Structure 1
Amino acid sequence: MPSVKRHALIILAEYGEAQAELKGKTVILADGKAGTVEEVCLDEMHGLRILIRGHYGKWPVSTIKFWER
């Protein structure tokens, strides 16, 4: 399998795992916003981003913390 296809398959597999792990989880962003992850997006310029229910915008996954009870 050509190298480019192999890399694409790895990226898509990791994206699927991240989506399964994050979607529906309650998170807190570094700027204090909190909510439930509604969608996980793959942005070619910025990498993995999330949409939080009730808040406008997309945030990098590196800015979240999981809500612990």
Structure 2
Amino acid sequence: MATGIITKMAAADDGTPVFEIESSDRPERGSSGSPVLNEQDRVVGMYTWNEPKSDVAGLAISSAALATPCP
């Protein structure tokens, strides 16, 4: 398990809340869909992807966005 911090909160073009993660270990291929936990081990988001050439460890979708079912 890696530890990290949220470095930026933003919104995707469609308004979906997303955040950048700086982590002690870069997520590996196949990690998409993994939960992002806070210090109380509560799910605060879902890891989506990373840019290998970026300093940012990855992007995650906020759990608030995941709580709304798709139409």
What TM-score do the two structures reach when normalised by structure 1? Answer: 0.35
Higher relative helix content: 1
Looking at CA atoms only, which structure, 1 or 2, has the larger radius of gyration?
A: 1
Structure number with the bigger relative contact order (C-alpha 8 A, sep ≥ 6) is 2
What TM-score do the two structures reach when normalised by structure 2? Answer: 0.34
